[in-house]
């Protein structure tokens, strides 16, 4: 049974058709462009001269981020840029305390975040008053709060700009300059590339997971509409579908209301809940949780006459290693597994049963 179904499924698998634009234009504002141009005209760049440039024009770091990386510097890179991680990684001692004290004293944005992260009310009150702990226990609390503040802090671009421009951040700027010169070989880039033309040409890739998710949604929409389903609003239509909709009483494993990719309705009654995924390659990290789909199917089927349908597609299903996953879900979901072509072909048969 499964073997015949699998042969049919595989011969109907779709590959990505690149209907969505894969790249976005690089967004670099006029001020940053001017700073990059000035940097390119700078002769004999070294750590000291680049650190001074970053103080005068901190926006240039964000311009370099756009040029040197497809998207953004990683959080770990930003933390390394802005904080002395060698000290940060030490067991709690006087050097760590001095680092925490220095950062909170000289960076109001970091202080504000850290105050919200502190769990101890006495420690929080001392910080608000500009004072620091006087016991090791309270220092452990504050240091933990400081470390929890790192990720929220590096997400604040304006705070980073302010920090880089502050005289007290000279060591941060030198650390960044050294990284750009030694790790990313910035001087070679500035000599090799005409920046204005490069900025005009360079594009950043769209997130593949988002792109494939949108593709799957659109292919699902095309399939159900080809079978006669219409979007909500036409009360006279027998067959309707709702995109990204909740089914009351159906929860995720985390206890949140489950949002299905589509609900299929017959005469205003939900008859099927649909999930869809498109996977392009074997290297794709497939977030398939067999137990989750089985549990969802059980919840959906609690109402008489209601189905759970899984629509999945993409070349990954052409690989032998994924056949077992597909077979397991096919059996657990009572055969209600389709790709976009087989759904378009077989859904009218399902719709006919709803009329009976």
CATH numbers and ranges of domains, the chain? 2-13+209-355 (3.40.1350), 25-205 (no CATH)
Q: In angstroms, rounded to a whole number, what is the distance separating the alpha carbons of residues 24 and 21?
A: 8
Q: What is the mean pLDDT of each run of 10 residues along the chain (356 residues)?
A: 93 88 82 93 94 95 81 84 94 96 97 95 95 95 96 94 95 96 91 85 77 90 96 81 92 87 94 92 58 87 91 90 89 94 97 92
What are phi and psi for residue 305, nearest 5 degrees?
Answer: 80, 10
pLDDT at 285: 52
Question: Structure tokens of 345?
Answer: 């072909």
Please spell the DSSP secondary structure of 121-137, one letter per residue: HHHHHHHHTT---SSHH
pLDDT at 27: 82
pLDDT at 114: 96
CB 148 within 8 A of CB 140: no
CB 239 within 8 A of CB 265: yes
In the chain, alpha helices (H):
2-11, 30-41, 47-56, 59-68, 75-82, 85-88, 94-106, 108-117, 121-128, 136-148, 150-154, 157-165, 170-182, 186-192, 195-201, 208-226, 290-300, 320-332, 340-355
Instruction: Give Rg (Cα) of the chain.
Output: 28
Q: In angstroms, rounded to a whole number, what is the distance separating the alpha carbons of residues 206 and 311?
A: 24
What are phi and psi for residue 107, nearest 5 degrees?
Answer: -130, 95
The reported pTM is 0.66
Please spell the DSSP secondary structure of 50-98, one letter per residue: HHHHHHH-THHHHHHHHHHSSS---HHHHHHHHS-HHHHTSPSSHHHHH
Q: Within 10 A of 71 (CB to CB), how many other CB atoms are there?
A: 11
């Amino acid at each position: 049974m499964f073997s015949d179904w699998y042969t049919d499924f595989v011969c109907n698998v779709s590959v990505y058709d690149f209907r969505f634009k894969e790249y976005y234009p690089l967004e670099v504002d006029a001020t940053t462009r001017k700073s990059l141009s000035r940097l390119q005209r700078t002769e004999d760049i070294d750590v000291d001269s680049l650190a001074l440039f970053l103080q005068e024009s901190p926006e240039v770091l964000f311009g370099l981020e756009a040029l040197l990386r497809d998207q953004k510097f990683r959080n770990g890179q930003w933390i390394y840029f802005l904080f002395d991680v060698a000290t940060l990684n030490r067991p709690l001692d006087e050097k760590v305390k001095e680092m925490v004290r220095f950062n909170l004293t000289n960076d109001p944005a970091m202080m504000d975040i850290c105050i919200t992260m502190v769990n101890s009310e006495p420690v929080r009150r001392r910080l608000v008053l500009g004072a620091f702990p006087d016991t090791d226990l309270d220092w452990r609390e504050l240091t933990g709060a400081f470390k929890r503040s790192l990720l929220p802090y590096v997400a604040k671009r304006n705070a980073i700009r302010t920090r880089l421009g502050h005289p007290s951040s000279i060591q941060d700027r030198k650390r960044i300059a050294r990284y750009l010169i030694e790790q990313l070989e910035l001087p070679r880039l500035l000599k090799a590339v005409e920046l204005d033309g490069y900025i005009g040409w360079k594009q950043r890739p769209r997130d593949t997971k988002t792109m494939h998710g949108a593709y799957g949604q659109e292919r699902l929409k095309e399939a159900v509409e080809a079978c006669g389903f219409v979007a909500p609003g036409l009360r006279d239509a027998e067959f309707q579908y709702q995109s990204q909709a909740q089914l009351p009483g159906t929860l995720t494993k985390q206890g949140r209301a489950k949002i299905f990719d589509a609900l299929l309705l017959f005469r205003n009654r939900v008859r099927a809940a649909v999930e869809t995924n498109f996977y392009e390659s074997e290297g794709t990290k497939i977030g398939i949780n067999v137990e989750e789909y089985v549990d969802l199917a059980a919840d959906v089927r609690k109402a008489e006459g209601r189905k759970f349908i899984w629509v999945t597609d993409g070349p990954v299903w052409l690989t032998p290693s994924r056949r077992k996953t597909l077979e397991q879900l096919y059996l657990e979901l009572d055969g209600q597994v389709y790709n976009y072509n087989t759904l378009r072909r077989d859904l009218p048969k399902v719709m006919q049963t709803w009329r009976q």
